[in-house]
Structure 1
Amino acid sequence: MRLSTNWMFQQSLGTMLNQQSALAAAQNQVSSGKRINVASDDPAGAGRMVSLDHIIAANTQYTANIDAANTRLNTSQSTLNSVNDLYNSARDLTLQALNGSLSDSDRQAIAVQLGQMRDQLLQMANTTDATGQALFAGTSNTSAPFVKNADGSVSYTGNESQPHASIGSGLTVPVGESGSSLFMGLPPGNGQFVASAGAANTGTLVVGSNEVSDPAAYAAGIATNGGYTLTFDGAGNWTATDASGNPAVDAGGNPLTGTYAPGGSISFNGLTVNLSGTPQAGDTVGIQSGGSQDVFTTFNNMISALQSGGSSPQMVNVLNRQLESLDQAQAGVSRAEVDIGGRTNALTAQRAAYQDLNVTYKSTLSDTRDVDVYSAISQLSIQSAALQASQQVFAQVKSMSLFNYIK
């Protein structure tokens, strides 16, 4: 076999170039701290890196969404706490106004305070988050969903939907409330019916608390009669008519009649109405189901009743009914607070899950991408020594020529 000088040179040069390439790769790993710097270093590992990077980026974005949602929900919770406190104060003032020993000027002063509370409530209902979006506008972009009209009433310009934040693949959580359900479309009375004294009553009859004692019987009675009007004679006897003015009936089809004793109650068809005072002939009590009333109207009704002056049964009846409506508004706020608390807990749990997952994903990414520094430094030393040895061998080989023996 013939070995030419040119062949030996090419072999030596090829070996040194390969070793220089290996040395450069080792130097790159040591300087970057990464085992995979380009996809050709490890195609399968590079694919895993891309997948892990996408997962970590998605989890990071979901975590940011959770933080933003938490901020918004915490603002809502704080605002609703303030609303609840305002309702408690308004209730205390109204109960104080029912004290018969108060003068007209005292009640006028309470009316002024309730007016200030109503305006403060309007401001709370229009609270915005850190981005300027209204908390209680549903998904509407309006920054002031509650607008006070010239007649003192309040209109809602938001919508009924709830905004949602994406906190996972296919997982969303509501981050806002519809102001309509919180402040506008509230059930009056005890939440199922309203019992109110007739405006033309001449006696001292006052309607107190009322309740549904038998839901099934109540529902059947309302379905049959639609509503009731109790009419009293001068001897305390009462008869009931239905929504059409015809004699109301019980479950057996018998006309509803009875006798009322001052300070007692009237019960029929699954409902109970507590009364006080003495009715005059022709005085009435209306019992109506359904309907709704916004909380701003509740405040306006209380203010108007107090501004009318005196402590007449009519004023007491109005305030009693508005207190019931205020209780319904407060119950709605309490339900929303519980709901928000549940969502906040869910967000906290989801955020913790992402933190744990990111630790696992980043550890896996590091195992796939990063280099063992000690091994890399050792490999760098080996490659450097190999290159130096190759260079020294080449220096010897290049002098091995026939002409060296001729001279």
Structure 2
Amino acid sequence: MRVSTSTLYDQGVRSMLQQQDGMFRLQQQLSSGKRIMTPSDDPIGAARAHELAQSISLNTQYTDNRYRAADSLQQVDSTLGGVSNLIQSVRTMAVAAGNPAFSDSERQMMAIELRGHFDELLGLANTRDEQGNYLFSGFQGNTRPFEQTANGVEYKGDQGQRLIQVSSSRQLPVSETGEAVFGPDGSNMFQTIDGFIGALETSGGMPDGAVSAALQELDSALDNVLTKRAAVGSRLQEIDALQQIGEDTAIQYQQSLSRLQDLDFAQAISDMVRQQALLEAAQKTFTRVSGLSLFNLI
């Protein structure tokens, strides 16, 4: 078979271009530190790297969600702590009010102080979070949950609990309804305090059984608030556990992605030296071949 000069020339050019392309690819890998520059470098590895990148992104989102959930629950916990302290203060006053030696004016002064606690409780019940949503209004974050009306304090929220997705399989409640905290089982904390204030304001002495009834209702309310606070604390512990799992998972994902993508620099440098030698050989061969001519033999 005859091999023309143009064929030799084309083959030489093609060989040099291939070696130059290989050199360029190795230079890109060395400069980026990545083994896979395009999907064609390793189709299976590139697909797996894409899946891992998506998993890392999703895990990061769950981490952010857990931080938001923790912030919300910590505010609920803090508010419930304030409510429990207030109930205990009111209870202490109720015990003191049972002293038969108190005069009407002394009970009136106590009633005024209790009215301040009543207003403080109403403020706690209408606490907002950092985004301006009411903590205890259920799903209706923009609705003020408790309103003072002619018939007493009424709950305007609903029975829903706001949820945040904290892992692929867990939605965590990050709120409590106002009715569950301040009015469980038909009891109403506001009615209890308001009724006791009315008893203190009665001239000629408090009605029989007013103190014992108030103490019983306050103890029930306190137990309920402490139970709710314990549930919130349990959720915070769950978030801590999920956060640790999320951090471990993130490390595993990064290690897997690194094994797929990261360049073996020692091997790449060795390949670079070899590729450079091949390119130089191709260039020299092309120079020799392109200079061939019958006239050189005359």
Query: Which contiguous aligned blocks of 4+ residues in structure 1 show a shift greater than 6 angstroms?
Result: none
2:67 aligns with: 67
1:168 aligns with: 167
**Can you give the 5+ residue segments of structure 2 that lack an aligned partner in the other structure?**
none
1:212 aligns with: none
1:351 aligns with: 243
Equivalent in 247, 256, 260 of residue 368 of structure 1: 260
Q: How does 1:308-387 map to 2 (within 5 A)?
A: 308-312=202-206, 314=207, 316-387=208-279
Equivalent in 295, 302, 313 of residue 189 of structure 2: 295
Shift of 1:174: 0.7
* Larger fraction in helix: 2
CA distance in 1, matches of 2:53, 2:106: 69
8 A contact 2:108–2:200 mirrored in 1: yes
Q: Deviations over 1:211-261 (max 9, x none)?
A: xxxxxxxxxxxxxxxxxxxxxxxxxxxxxxxxxxxxxxxxxxxxxxxxxxx
- 3-state SS of 1:332 partner: helix
CA distance in 2, matches of 1:73, 1:310: 46
What code does the residue aligned with 1:318 have?
Answer: A
Shift of 1:383: 1.5
What code does the residue aligned with 1:181 have?
Answer: A
- 3-state SS of 1:388 partner: helix
CA distance in 2, matches of 1:94, 1:54: 59
What code does the residue aligned with 2:181 have?
Answer: L
CA distance in 2, matches of 1:68, 1:42: 39
2:124 aligns with: 124
2:289 aligns with: 397
Q: Deviations over 1:12-70 (max 9, x none)?
A: 11111110111111011111111111111110001101111111111111111111000
- 3-state SS of 1:167 partner: strand
Shift of 1:393: 2.1
- 3-state SS of 2:209 partner: helix
8 A contact 1:126–1:135 mirrored in 2: yes
8 A contact 2:94–2:214 mirrored in 1: no
Calculate percent identity across the aligned residue pairs. Answer: 37
8 A contact 2:165–2:171 mirrored in 1: yes
* Larger CA Rg, structure 1 vs 2: 1
1:139 aligns with: 139
Shift of 1:143: 4.2
8 A contact 1:132–1:143 mirrored in 2: no
Larger RCO, structures 1/2 (Cα 8 Å, 6+ apart): 2
What code does the residue aligned with 2:262 have?
Answer: D
CA distance in 2, matches of 1:310, 1:53: 77
What code does the residue aligned with 1:162 have?
Answer: Q
Q: TM-score, normalised on structure 2? A: 0.96
What code does the residue aligned with 1:160 have?
Answer: Q
CA distance in 1, matches of 2:80, 2:200: 27
- 3-state SS of 1:148 partner: strand
1:44 aligns with: 44
CA distance in 2, matches of 1:23, 1:149: 81
1:307 aligns with: 201
CA distance in 1, matches of 2:132, 2:284: 74
Shift of 1:141: 2.7
What code does the residue aligned with 1:349 have?
Answer: A
**Can you give the 5+ residue segments of structure 1 that lack an aligned partner in the other structure?**
188-291
CA distance in 2, matches of 1:136, 1:374: 61
CA-atom RMSD, angstroms?
1.4
CA distance in 1, matches of 2:153, 2:182: 10
Q: Deviations over 1:83-129 (max 9, x none)?
A: 10000100011111111122222111111111000100011011111
8 A contact 1:128–1:143 mirrored in 2: no
Q: TM-score, normalised on structure 1? A: 0.71
2:29 aligns with: 29
8 A contact 1:107–1:309 mirrored in 2: no
2:74 corresponds to 1:182: no
8 A contact 1:138–1:162 mirrored in 2: yes
